[in-house]
């Protein structure tokens, strides 16, 4: 059978496709047109939209099985030659030019690896940034490697502002400081350096696969099943004895442990079969836990692609209750929730106390997950057609089952008295709090800066994620979430293999000169609370700036004449 050949497409032709509304990205030097499967993608459409105009090879390989990657080849519409220079996706503010009447579409063979010019859409895709479009010298102390140093435009790092009358220049100053720190701490963004990181990361991926780290050890899950059964049995036993608080603690611990296996199933890390692992995830998350695995997939895939981006990553978008970056003071629009995250009077109150309210809010984090799950299922945000069309209906059945056995069977039928019911509900939902703390711990204290579209996937994951050091006997408590750096680099590794992969990742970090963030549990929490306190102080400073400006006749210099 003859190998299919694809037409060679130039950067300019691909830009025109995107300008015409096509969702195209690059995988293994081929142009993929995602429009036919956008609405059927089990991981949601948003994850794909963040890859439009980019070389998505590493993201696709990290998050998809070999079978899924093989199916993707049927959507190839062209190929490229040379190194691809990323555009900023339209969902992040990128603007693209259609072909004009006087342009020669057929004979355009522009280089894909050419540096963007001043007229390129990658530079004209957003308003001028006070960080990247300054006329001052580049903010970098590291010595760039040989090769072309690309500009580092950011569609979303900072809004363009004039020397202001609302205090926003203070926020721009903070943004510049944060970006400068990252540029000094991490490898250069020039093409040669980033290409070397990509090559070594792919070598690491081949080594991970060769050492069998994607192979699931089902004996470990047998031990997990025994632990789950013991906790659930104790919950029923204490419920029968009317030890309601003790029973609620066991049920909460049961939910706490279940989350880890649902996480594995969502990443197809158990059987590696799409439908099999999805059904496992639905049984665990929906039927037993009352949470939507479909919502989690849609949310989590975006998180893995745009980690710690305030405008795009739903895992750090908790306004008005929490903010991990001063950039949330700018009424920015969430591309995931499609709404403006208002920095209003309510947010100002909560952010002032967030270092103290943080753990209290985490105690009730599960209630927010119920809301998000039902929003996902009722609104039909998951695939309604394609191979995953029936997952939504199985999830809805799972939620009906959960609300029947928990709210009717346990709270109403098994516990007399409204006060005991309330205490049982409260305790059972507060006990799983360490899961929420672990998730926040991995990212809240890490960088939220946008270094532009040329940063490699591996470097971005290492810059925005931390690991937590703990003894091996405590792995069951953390459930693999203590190895978030490794997990973000290789999401499909079963969690029981993450500790084995740690040494490989540490060696990789040493080789490419990227810091590997590893903290103890206490120190990590201290860094998170410190980040929240820092943002609170920045909010207070901004409020003072705005007050001085409001009371002044001179909004530029802040004093009266």
Per-position DSSP letters for 347-387, written without gaps between them: HHHHHHTHHHHHHHHHHTHHHHHHHHHHHHHHHT-S-SSST
Query: Quick check: 410 pLDDT over 70?
Result: yes
- Average pLDDT value for residue range 274-290: 95
Query: Quick check: 130 pLDDT over 70?
Result: no
The pLDDT tens digits of the residues spanning 94-117 come to 999 998 755 665 556 555 665 554
Of the chain, the percentage scoring pLDDT greater than 70 comes to 86
The predicted pLDDT at position 170 comes to 79
- Average pLDDT value for residue range 366-393: 93
The predicted pLDDT at position 62 comes to 94
Q: Judging by beta carbons within 10 Å of its beta carbon (0-12, 13-18, 19+), is residue 235 exposed, middle or buried?
A: buried
Query: Quick check: 157 pLDDT over 80?
Result: no
- Average pLDDT value for residue range 281-296: 96
The pLDDT tens digits of the residues spanning 462-484 come to 999 999 999 999 999 999 999 99
The pLDDT tens digits of the residues spanning 498-532 come to 999 999 999 999 999 999 999 999 999 999 999 99
- Average pLDDT value for residue range 121-142: 37
The predicted pLDDT at position 66 comes to 87
- Average pLDDT value for residue range 74-78: 94
- Average pLDDT value for residue range 402-415: 96
- Of 428, 506, 114, 388, the residue nearest 249 (C-alpha): 428
The predicted pLDDT at position 284 comes to 96
Return d(Cα 424, Cα 255) in angstroms, integer: 14
The pLDDT confidence band at residue 196, using thresholds 50, 70 and 90, is very high
Phi, psi of 393 (to 5 degrees): -70, -35
Query: Quick check: 229 pLDDT over 80?
Result: yes
State the Rg of the chain over Cα: 25
Query: Quick check: 118 pLDDT over 90?
Result: no
Query: Quick check: 252 pLDDT over 60?
Result: yes
The pLDDT tens digits of the residues spanning 17-53 come to 999 999 999 999 999 999 998 888 888 899 999 999 9
Average pLDDT of the residues of the chain? 87
- Average pLDDT value for residue range 122-131: 37
Return d(Cα 449, Cα 310) in angstroms, integer: 9
The predicted pLDDT at position 100 comes to 73
519: helix, strand or coil: strand
The pLDDT confidence band at residue 384, using thresholds 50, 70 and 90, is confident
The pLDDT tens digits of the residues spanning 85-94 come to 999 999 999 9
Query: Quick check: 557 pLDDT over 90?
Result: no
Return the higher-pLDDT residue of 152 and 243. 243
- Average pLDDT value for residue range 271-281: 93
The pLDDT confidence band at residue 128, using thresholds 50, 70 and 90, is very low
- Of 458, 455, 483, the residue nearest 469 (C-alpha): 483
Return d(Cα 527, Cα 523) in angstroms, integer: 6
The pLDDT confidence band at residue 555, using thresholds 50, 70 and 90, is low
The predicted pLDDT at position 551 comes to 77
The predicted pLDDT at position 154 comes to 39
Query: Quick check: 345 pLDDT over 70?
Result: yes
Return the higher-pLDDT residue of 451 and 550. 451
The predicted pLDDT at position 547 comes to 81
- End-to-end Cα, the chain, rounded Å: 83
User: What is the per-residue DSSP string for 235-267?
Assistant: HHHHHHTT-HHHHHHHHHHHHHHHHHHHHHHHT
């Amino acid at each position: 059978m003859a190998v299919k050949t694809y037409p060679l497409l130039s950067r300019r032709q691909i830009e025109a496709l995107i300008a015409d509304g096509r969702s195209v990205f690059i995988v293994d030097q081929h142009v993929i047109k995602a429009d036919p499967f956008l609405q059927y993608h089990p991981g949601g459409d948003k994850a794909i939209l963040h890859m439009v105009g980019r070389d998505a090879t590493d993201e696709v390989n990290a998050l998809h099985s070999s079978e899924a990657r093989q199916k993707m080849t049927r959507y190839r519409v062209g190929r490229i030659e040379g190194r691809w220079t990323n555009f900023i996706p339209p969902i992040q503010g990128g603007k693209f030019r259609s072909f004009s009447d006087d342009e020669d579409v057929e004979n355009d063979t522009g280089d894909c690896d050419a540096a963007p010019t001043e007229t390129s859409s990658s530079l004209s895709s957003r308003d001028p940034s006070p960080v990247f479009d300054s006329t001052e010298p580049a903010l970098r102390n590291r010595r760039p490697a040989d090769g072309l140093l690309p500009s580092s435009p950011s569609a979303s790092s900072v809004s363009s502002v004039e020397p202001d009358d609302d205090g926003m220049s203070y926020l721009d100053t903070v943004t510049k400081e944060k970006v400068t720190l990252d540029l000094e701490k991490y490898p250069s963004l020039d093409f040669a350096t980033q290409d070397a990181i990509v090559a070594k990361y792919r070598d690491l991926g081949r080594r991970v696969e060769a050492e069998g780290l994607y192979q699931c050890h089902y004996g470990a899950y047998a031990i997990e099943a025994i632990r789950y059964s013991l906790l659930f049995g104790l919950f029923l036993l204490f419920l029968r004895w009317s030890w309601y608080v003790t029973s609620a603690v066991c049920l909460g611990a049961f939910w706490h442990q279940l989350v880890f296996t649902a996480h594995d199933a969502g990443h197809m890390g158990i059987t590696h079969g799409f439908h099999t692992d999805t059904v496992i995830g639905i049984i665990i998350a929906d039927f037993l836990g009352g949470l939507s695995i479909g919502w989690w997939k849609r949310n989590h895939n975006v998180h893995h692609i745009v980690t710690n981006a305030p405008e795009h990553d739903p895992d750090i978008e908790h306004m008005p209750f929490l903010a991990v970056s001063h950039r949330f003071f700018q009424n920015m629009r969430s591309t995931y929730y499609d709404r403006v995250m208002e920095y209003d009077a309510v947010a100002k109150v909560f952010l002032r106390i967030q270092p103290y309210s943080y753990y209290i809010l985490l105690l009730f984090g599960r209630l927010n997950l119920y809301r998000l799950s039902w929003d996902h299922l009722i609104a039909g945000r998951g695939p309604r057609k394609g191979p995953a069309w029936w997952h939504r209906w199985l999830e809805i059945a799972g939620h009906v089952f959960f609300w029947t056995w928990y709210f009717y069977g346990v709270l109403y039928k098994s516990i007399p008295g409204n006060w005991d019911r309330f205490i049982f509900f409260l305790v059972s939902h507060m006990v799983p709090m360490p899961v929420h703390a672990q998730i926040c711990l991995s990212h809240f204290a890490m960088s939220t800066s946008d270094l532009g579209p040329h940063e490699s996937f591996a470097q971005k994951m290492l810059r925005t994620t931390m690991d937590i050091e703990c003894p091996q006997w405590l792995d069951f408590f953390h459930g693999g979430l203590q190895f978030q750096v490794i997990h973000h680099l290789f999401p499909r590794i079963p969690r029981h293999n993450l500790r084995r992969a740690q040494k490989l990742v540490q060696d990789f970090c040493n080789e490419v000169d990227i810091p590997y963030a590893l903290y103890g549990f206490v120190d990590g929490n201290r860094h998170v609370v410190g980040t929240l306190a820092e943002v609170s102080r920045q909010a207070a400073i901004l409020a003072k700036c705005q007050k001085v400006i409001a009371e002044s006749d001179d909004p530029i210099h802040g004093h009266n004449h």
